[in-house]
Amino acid sequence: MTDETKTYPTDALIDGAWIGADRTFAVTDPATGDEIAKVPDLGAAETTKAIDAAYKALPEWSAKTAKQRGQILKKWFDLVTAQTESLARLMTLEQGKPLTESRGEVAYGASFIEWFSEEGKRAYGRTIPTTVEGKRYVTIKQPIGVCAAITPWNFPIAMITRKVAPALAAGCTMVVKPSEETPLSALAIAELALEAGVPAGVFNVVTSTDAPSVGKVLCEDSRVRKLTFTGSTAVGKTLYRQCADTVKKLTLELGGNAPLVVFDDADLDKAVAGTLASKYRNAGQTCVCANRILVQSGIYDRFADALLEAIQSYGVGSGLEEGTVIGPLINKDAVKKVESLVADAVEQGASISSGGKGEGDGELFYRPAVMRDATTDMRITSEEIFGPVAALVRFEAESEAIDLANDTPFGLAAYVFSENLSRAWRVAEKLEAGMVGVNEGIFSNEAAPFGGIKESGLGREGASEGLDEYMETKFICLGGI
Ligand code: ADP
């Protein structure tokens, strides 16, 4: 039964026990600045203890059958789903996104648990036709071992379940370091995992403001065989380097600079709806948010006008208030970054609709805006905006759009809007991105592989690929047959 008032732990979770600490840090509501809770500010020593626990729990957990692990995961899925309301409220409180989006994220996050509770049973090896008489070849899949996850604040539940569920389904154990902005959602789903029967030590959560120290231990401890990270490219590169000495397997979901291309032959309504969904969800704070909106000149004005009209009705406020579409940004740095990117673009000739700071708005609010006449040499089109500003760039020819879209070191998401199937397919193939939405602004789901190319990362999450990331392939050669 859903219980809106259910409360969750505020201590860290190591070896099945809730651990407090003398040193704590405050978690605040970005809409009001009010403190919600204090959580333990752990460091290197506690991180090592969490790895000890995960290492100790590994033999028993990995020896269970995939079906047994799947049953526990399924129970976890049921508990998370039943607690949608309490989890969504907690998420909105510490992260700021509107309650409807939080409910959506609980469902999205839970979908990975359900998917991998089933997919774990399908970790098939292969039989390979022999090349030599008297020998037979097979491969089996085995869990990689102790894993570590470092996760961001923009999807406080889904970025954890997308990693923990496949790891646990594969037979691995996990140490998670959630973002210091949103540790409460992480602790809440960890509690539900314990309730579902995940044994002590299999899933540990280390809360900390000292991410570099915790991260260093996770990267350098040779017992951790895999690191999975979602966050900025700069931090991802540091972690990549730190993992070199122990040659860890890595999944990196890093930053993007998603192009969204609208051709003259697009359906205007679909293009506007897709852009709104991609750009303004979570107040523009997702790594797949359209960052450069490339619009062909024949549809440019109509598209810009329609986009602007649509955002006029967006409610801006606390995510807990009815009617809010745009909640607060996560912190002061985020607001400063958006303001500085907009100021830079305007100085170079772009124009911005009303938006930004409104009368009486709290410190972290930024009203949605549309920017016309952006160009691809501006900072706003080369850095991740992570805010509700749509920067529109004009182009003339298809080839120009592809060149502009690919002119970036990143390659996470891309979007194409065109009713011409040949063009949509041709362009989707040419875009350098791990994921392409065609006439669609939201594509992520548990059954499809999520991930980037170029400096947007390594590996895939979700789908059968997402399970494989937590397994090794062992080749067994039978001789003397
Ligand atoms: P964002 O800009 O989205 O906050 P970050 O890359 O800064 O992205 O943060 C993502 C996660 O990485 C958070 O959990 C954060 O605490 C963690 N993190 C930040 N710096 C480091 C670091 N040097 N080593 C390990 N983890 C880090």
pLDDT digits (tens, 9 = 90+) for 195-210: 999 999 999 999 999 9
The number of CA neighbours under 13 Å toward the Cβ of 144 is 24
User: Is residue 4 pLDDT above 80, yes or no?
Assistant: no
User: Is residue 43 pLDDT above 60, yes or no?
Assistant: yes
Catalytic residue among 46, 94, 191, 253: 253
* Lowest-confidence region among 2-6, 274-278, 315-319: 2-6
What percent of the chain clears pLDDT 90, i.e. is strictly above it?
98
pLDDT digits (tens, 9 = 90+) for 145-165: 999 999 999 999 999 999 999
- Per-residue pLDDT at 95: 98
DSSP 419-464: S-HHHHHHHHHHS-SSEEEES-S----TTS-B--EETTEES-BSHH
Phi then psi for residue 401, to 5 deg, are -60, -40
Please state, in angstroms and as integers, the Cα–Cα distance from residue 284 to each residue in 193, 259, 287, following that order.
30, 14, 9
Q: Which residue has the tokens 């691995």?
A: 172
- Atom in ligand 1 nearest the alpha carbon of residue 151: 14
- Per-residue pLDDT at 359: 86
Measured in angstroms, how far is the CA atom of residue 206 from the centroid of ligand 1?
14
Confidence class for position 127, pLDDT limits 50, 70, 90 = very high
User: Is residue 3 pLDDT above 80, yes or no?
Assistant: no
Measured in angstroms, how far is the CA atom of residue 465 from the centroid of ligand 1?
25
pLDDT digits (tens, 9 = 90+) for 352-401: 998 998 888 999 999 999 999 999 999 999 999 999 999 999 999 999 99
- Atom in ligand 1 nearest the alpha carbon of residue 154: 3
Most ligand 1 atoms within 8 A of CB, residue of 151, 185, 207, 235 to mutate: 235
What DSSP state is assigned to residue 356?
B
The whole-angstrom separation of Cα 179 and Cα 195 is 23
| Average pLDDT of every residue of the chain | 97
Most ligand 1 atoms within 8 A of CB, residue of 210, 213, 217, 232 to mutate: 232
Report the complex ipTM: 0.98
- Per-residue pLDDT at 106: 98
- Per-residue pLDDT at 360: 87
What percent of the chain clears pLDDT 70, i.e. is strictly above it?
99
Q: Which is it for the CA torsion 83, 88, 89, 94, positive or negative?
A: positive
Measured in angstroms, how far is the CA atom of residue 323 from the centroid of ligand 1?
32
Measured in angstroms, how far is the CA atom of residue 350 from the centroid of ligand 1?
32
- Per-residue pLDDT at 312: 95
pLDDT digits (tens, 9 = 90+) for 241-275: 999 999 999 999 999 999 999 999 999 999 999 99
Examine the residue annotation and report whether 253 is marked as an active-site residue of this protein. Answer: yes
Measured in angstroms, how far is the CA atom of residue 235 from the centroid of ligand 1?
6
**Phi-psi domain of 439 (left: phi exceeds 0; alpha: psi -120 through 50; beta: other):** left
- Per-residue pLDDT at 358: 87
- Per-residue pLDDT at 2: 60
Question: If you take atom 24 of ligand 1, which residue's CA is the nearest one?
Answer: 212
The whole-angstrom separation of Cα 158 and Cα 32 is 24
pLDDT digits (tens, 9 = 90+) for 177-186: 999 999 999 9
- Per-residue pLDDT at 363: 94
Per DSSP bridges, beta strands 290-296 and 389-395 are parallel
The whole-angstrom separation of Cα 27 and Cα 99 is 18
Q: Which is it for the CA torsion 76, 78, 84, 85, positive or negative?
A: negative
Question: If you take atom 13 of ligand 1, which residue's CA is the nearest one?
Answer: 179
Provide CB contacts within 8 A for 333, sequence distance 6+.
none
The whole-angstrom separation of Cα 86 and Cα 438 is 35
Q: Which of 57, 11, 12, 95 is nearest to 320 (CA)?
A: 95
User: Is residue 304 pLDDT above 60, yes or no?
Assistant: yes
